[in-house]
Structure 1
């Protein structure tokens, strides 16, 4: 497989997507943040002094989608058509699972945007709760699915 972000002399370059076709593109990424059970209870009962943790993390994740091209050196700035951040609570493992889904119609994929959304949402949760729990762990951020473009559909096998 050829790496496309390097020129003939091995220097970094931004890929030219001018010849690519415009297709509907979707990416889904997931990750999680684990914490002490008391911290999760504080979040669920809205007792974190900085405010509604999941509402702010949802906005943070969406903002991350919009800023991905500014954060990741070789990402193109793209027009986002839709982004959704979802949370599921795993009380048994004292964890918040995060899922981001990003949609565009364009010439380049949105995998990095979905991964950035999960990362920023998790970092937002950490930031809002660090006063009560510095042991939180952000974990397992990964691409679950992507569709559109020349490479077609990717679907991670679930074990």
Structure 2
């Protein structure tokens, strides 16, 4: 069973949004893993995997974009804290059953707040970059199943999505 907070931490008593004060929280190692998929035509997947996309190396570019996005999450999501990430990885694997690509992002920090949003942002932007680089081949691609798979660290401890 998933534990839910009694109140939303970013909403004040009068309903105003605010950034949560994490100053008194203990610094712990925090890790989050998120995933997303991009479904495409089999021919589009073949072109990407062969390295024949006109815009260049789709996988390398998407990986770099995901890493950069994780580092800029606080600039994109209004109430996120800027974090000194210690590690970000973005792995992209073909899945012919989709057909398409599966993106998995891991973020890590030693700090006072979690890195779930950074992992989700990395996975999302990597998928968006794949779309951008391959849209000339397949405008019907679908970005899907962006979700948090797991997180660890902090007061709430470890959490893992069902089936992850």
Q: Report the TM-score range of the alignment, normalised by the length of the smaller protein.
A: over 0.9
Q: Out of 48, 61, 69, which is 1:64 matched to?
A: 69
Distance 1:133 1:83 in 2: 29
Residue 43 (structure 1) shift: 0.1
Distance 1:98 1:35 in 2: 14
Distance 2:42 2:151 in 1: 33
Moved over 3 A (4+): none
Residue 88 (structure 1) shift: 1.6
Residue 33 (structure 1) shift: 0.2
**Pairwise CA RMSD of aligned residues?**
0.9
Aligned length in residues: 159
Q: Runs of 5+ in structure 1 lacking a partner?
A: none
Q: Runs of 5+ in structure 2 lacking a partner?
A: 1-5
Please give the secondary structure, in 2, of the residue aligned with 1:92.
coil
For 1:55-91, what per-residue CA distance to the aligned partner results, in whole angstroms no more than 9, with x for missing partners? 0000000001011000001100010100000112111
Distance 2:48 2:60 in 1: 11
Distance 1:41 1:6 in 2: 47
2:19 matches 1:14:
yes
Q: Out of 81, 94, 101, which is 2:99 matched to?
A: 94
Residue 13 (structure 1) shift: 0.3
